[in-house]
Amino acid sequence: MRIHEYQARQLLADAGIAVPPGAMVQNIDDAVAQAKAILNGGAPMVVVKAQVHAGGRGKAGFVKVVRTAEEVREAAAFMLSHRMISPQTPPEGLEVKRLLVAAGVEIAKEYYLAVAVDRARRTATLIASAEGGVEIEAVAERNPAAILKEPLHPLAGLQPYQARKLAYALGFSGRQVGQAADIMQRLTRVFHNTDASLVEINPLVVTPPTEAHPDGQVLAIDAKFSFDDNALFRQKRIAEMFDPTEENPAELRANAAGLSYVALDGNIGCLVNGAGLAMSTMDIIKLHGGEPANFLDVGGSASEEAVTEAFRIILADTAVKGVLVNIFGGIMQCDRIARAISSAAKEVGFQVPLVVRLEGTNVDAARAILEEARKEIPSMQSASDLTDAAKRVCAAVA
Ligand code: GDP
Ligand code: MN
C-alpha cells in the first residue's frame, strides 16, 4: 500500500525528523489561505505540490516554489485542472485531487536517503547518495558508485557507527554529521515500526548557513512510503491512510471480492486458480504472441459468486477481446467455475471469444454444465490442454 507525501511527512515528523510545516488542501481557496498563513509565519517561500501516488512531479511541473499567495493561486488552479503526466504515471496521466501547501526552504544541497528491502542480501538496507534530487534515477544508472548502501542487521538495526560512516561518506561536516546520522537512525526505525517496504526522502536537504543555524539545517522536503499489505492488520494507523481514489477501480472491486487481480495492458482476459498457474498462463499467452489484459487468481476457495464477480470485472474491461479460463481444480472445484461461467453468460454475456480449459476435481460435472450453457455462449471453445488453450485464444483475438 502506498500513501501520499503529506501523510508520509506526518510520519517523519512524528518520528522526530525535521520537516517544513504544511497542510493538505483540496481546493484553490484553501491553498491560498494556507499559503498566507505560511508567509505570515515568516517563511520566505511556499511550495505547492500535487499529491498523487507517483513521482517525477518536479519535472512535470507539479511542484512549484513561489513567493506570493497570488502565485499559489495560479499553481493550485493549474494543478487541480490538469492531469499530471510523468515517467511514473500511466500515459494518460493522473487526476490531481489533493495538494500539499508547505513552507518552502532555501536549498544549499540535495541528498537522497531511503530504506528498502535488498532481496539479494535478504535484509533491509539504508541507501544514500550525495547526488539526491530529481535526477536520482539517472545517477543510479550512470554512476552507481554514487549510491551508497549499508545493510541493516535484522535484529539490531542500523548501528550508530554505520550512520556516522555514511554521513561522512556523503560529505556532511560539522554539526550536520550528527543531524544526518540522527535522521538515518530515525528513518530506519520508522521503516521497521510501520512494516514499510520502502521509505524514501528525496531530497533530504541542507539549508544555507544563517545566523540562527550557522551550519545550516538538515530537512526532509519530500517523502515516499510503501507498506507491506500483509502487515496492515497490525498497522491500523497506516491502514487508515489508504486513499481508494488513487487505486485502479477494477483492482479495488476484485480486492473486495477476495480475488487477486492486477490490471495489465493486453487484450486477453485471464481467469485462473493459483498464482503460479496464473503466471504460467500469462507466460504461455505471451509465448504464442498474445498479451494478457490482467493477472487474476481466484484462489482455491472462491465462491461461485466471487468467480462470477471475476468474470464481471474482466468483461467490464473494454480492452478485453478474448477470455481464457484456465482451471486446474484441486481445492477449487471445476463445476463451481462452470456455474460461474454460466451465470456470467446470462448476466453480462460473453460478447468476446471464450476459451475454457478445465482439469481436475469435478471436471465431468463441469463439462456437463458448460454443454448445457453452450446455447448462451456461442463464442465458447473448449481446449484440450494449456498450449491448445493459449493458441486458441491468441488466434481468436488476432
Ligand atoms: P518529485 O519531483 O515528485 O520527487 O518532488 P519533490 O518534492 O522531490 O520536488 C522536486 C524538486 O523541487 C526538489 O528536488 C527541489 O529541487 C525542488 N523543491 C521542492 N521543495 C522545495 C523547497 O521547499 N524549496 C526549494 N528551493 N526547492 C524545492
Ligand atoms: Mn522527490
- Domains of the chain as residue ranges with CATH: 1-20+107-247 (3.30.470.20), 21-104 (3.30.1490.20), 249-397 (3.40.50.261)
pLDDT on residue 280? 96
CA neighbor of 11 nearest in space, from 227, 244, 230, 245: 227
pTM, two decimal places:
0.85
Instruction: Report CA(202)–ligand 2 centroid distance (Å).
Output: 4
Instruction: Report CA(203)–ligand 2 centroid distance (Å).
Output: 6
Cα radius of gyration (the chain): 26
Low-confidence ranges of the chain (pLDDT < 70): none
Instruction: Report CA(223)–ligand 2 centroid distance (Å).
Output: 7
Residues with CB under 5 A from ligand 2 (ion): 202, 222
CA–CA separation, 359 vs 214, rounded Å?
73
pLDDT on residue 301? 84
pLDDT on residue 334? 94
Instruction: Report CA(111)–ligand 1 centroid distance (Å).
Output: 11
Using CA positions, which residue lies closest to atom 11 of ligand 1? 58
The answer to whether 324 and 390 are in contact (CB under 8 A) is yes
User: Which ligand 1 atom is at minimum distance from the Cα of 104?
Assistant: 23
**Catalytic position from the list 6, 112, 150, 309:** 112
CA–CA separation, 170 vs 157, rounded Å?
20
Residue 372, H or E segment: helix 363-373
Using CA positions, which residue lies closest to atom 2 of ligand 1? 58
pLDDT on residue 90? 86
Residue 112 is among the residues annotated as catalytic for this protein: yes
DSSP-assigned letters across all residues of 188-244? HHHHHHTTEEEEEEEEEEEPPP-SS-TT--EEE---EEEE-GGGGGG-HHHHTT--G
Q: CA torsion sign, 52 to 58 to 62 to 64?
A: positive
Contact residues of ligand 1, CB 6 A cut-off: 47, 49, 55-58, 63, 65, 104-105, 107, 110, 133-134, 202-203, 221-222
pLDDT on residue 248? 87
Q: Which three cell numbers stand for residue 37?
A: 498563513
pLDDT on residue 54? 93
Instruction: Spell out the residues 6+ positions from residue 210 whose beta carbon is closer than 8 angstroms to its own.
Output: 216
Give the percent of the chain with pLDDT over 70.
Answer: 100
DSSP-assigned letters across all residues of 288-353? TT--BSEEEE-TTT--HHHHHHHHHHHHH-TT--EEEEEEEESSS-HHHHHHHHHHHHHHT---S-
Instruction: Spell out the residues 6+ positions from residue 386 whose beta carbon is closer than 8 angstroms to its own.
Output: 280, 281, 284, 326, 357
The answer to whether 22 and 59 are in contact (CB under 8 A) is no
